[in-house]
């Protein structure tokens, strides 16, 4: 039997308090793990500490207690193996779409060292990613010339350009209208099936969580910890039609009940 693989992301008994001893306790004794190649969605009531969890895993903030380990390394500084995308696409307005997508290559080693000599190959890779999300022909445009959904697609390409082992997504589809959002779920699923990154997605949208994730984790109200988890059994690729199936909707409903209970400070028995 193959030896059990160590989890790729391990968060063990992590607490996080902002602003010193009297400050806001955002996370308390949070424990979770993510396997390599797994897609995990984190849902929970507003202000429960989801973004804080993302900051701790990507090394943007140190935890107040407990351990965060990514790829076998304790996280004590910003990680270069991580790609990130947020609700706001945050593209640089003075750079073209291609220039924006290639930005991490100017920062993250070993790409930074290789960029000058291998620019053509890197550019081809950026164009390939843009093609995967339907943005061929927009490489030389500037962000203001693209719709919000197109900018968000470009920001996903930017998060992927340096082959991150871990993709951290904080509400990346949150600001988009429902039709654009659903289109992007399908495209993003395609990208994940091809590139197979490990993904942690924070979202308020339970349908999105069930559509995209292998496993959904529900957080309690602040201070956040993991209250429940649900494995998503639907085979891939999933289609938007699947979201209308009864078993899909039952799962969304079940998660909704967990969130309602979390908002009231209750915990319900986990049937999963
Ligand atoms: N930089 C900060 N300084 C002080 N308190 C903070 C800081 N960032 C977040 N907090 C507090 O920590 C708690 C958790 O915030 P966080 O942004 O992690 O929640 P969230 O679950 O992502 O919220 P939402 O779902 O509304 O985006 C909140 O009470 C918030 O006010």
Q: What is the ipTM of this complex?
A: 0.95
- What is the DSSP-derived secondary structure letter of residue 220? P
- What is the DSSP-derived secondary structure letter of residue 107? T
Task: Give yes or no for residue 231 having a pLDDT over 60.
Answer: yes
Neighbouring C-alpha atoms within 13 Å toward the C-beta of 122: 24
Residue 52 CA: which ligand 1 atom is closest? 18
Residue 16 CA: which ligand 1 atom is closest? 12
Q: Ligand 1 site: residues with CB under 6 angstroms?
A: 18-19, 24, 26, 44, 46-52, 222
pLDDT at 272: 42
Give me the residue spans of the domains in the chain.
Answer: 92-162
Closest residue by CA, ligand 1 atom 5: 18
How far is ligand 1, taken at its centre, from the CA of residue 26, in Å?
7
Q: Please give the Cα distance from 83 to 168 (Å, whole number).
A: 6
Neighbouring C-alpha atoms within 13 Å toward the C-beta of 15: 11
Confidence category of residue 4, pLDDT binned at 50, 70, 90: low
Closest residue by CA, ligand 1 atom 1: 18
Give the pLDDT confidence of 80-104 residue by residue, as tens digits: 778 877 777 789 999 999 999 999 8
């Amino acid at each position: 039997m193959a030896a059990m693989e160590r989890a790729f992301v391990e968060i063990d008994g992590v607490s996080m308090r902002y602003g010193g001893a009297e400050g806001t306790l955002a996370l308390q004794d949070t424990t979770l793990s993510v396997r390599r190649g797994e897609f995990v969605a984190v849902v929970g009531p507003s202000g429960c500490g989801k973004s804080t969890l993302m900051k701790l895993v990507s090394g943007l903030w140190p935890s107040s207690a407990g351990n965060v380990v990514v790829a076998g390394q304790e996280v004590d500084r910003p990680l270069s193996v991580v790609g990130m995308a947020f609700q706001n696409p945050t593209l640089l307005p003075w750079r073209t779409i291609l220039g924006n997508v290639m930005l991490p290559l100017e920062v993250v080693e070993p790409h930074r060292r290789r960029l000058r000599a291998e620019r053509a190959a890197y550019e081809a890779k950026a164009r390939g990613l843009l093609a995967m999300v339907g943005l061929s022909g927009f490489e030389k445009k500037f962000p203001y010339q693209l719709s919000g959904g197109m900018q968000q697609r470009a920001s996903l390409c930017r998060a992927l350009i340096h082959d991150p082992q871990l993709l951290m997504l904080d509400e990346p589809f949150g600001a988009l209208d429902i039709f654009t959002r659903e289109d992007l779920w399908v495209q993003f699923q395609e990208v994940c099936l091809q590139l197979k990154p490990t993904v942690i997605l924070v979202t308020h949208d339970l349908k999105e969580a069930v559509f995209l994730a292998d496993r959904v984790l529900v957080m309690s109200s602040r201070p956040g910890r993991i209250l429940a988890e649900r494995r998503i059994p639907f085979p891939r690729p999933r289609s938007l039609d699947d979201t209308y199936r009864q078993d899909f909707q039952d799962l969304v409903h079940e998660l909704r009940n967990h969130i309602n209970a979390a908002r009231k400070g209750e915990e319900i028995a986990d049937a999963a």
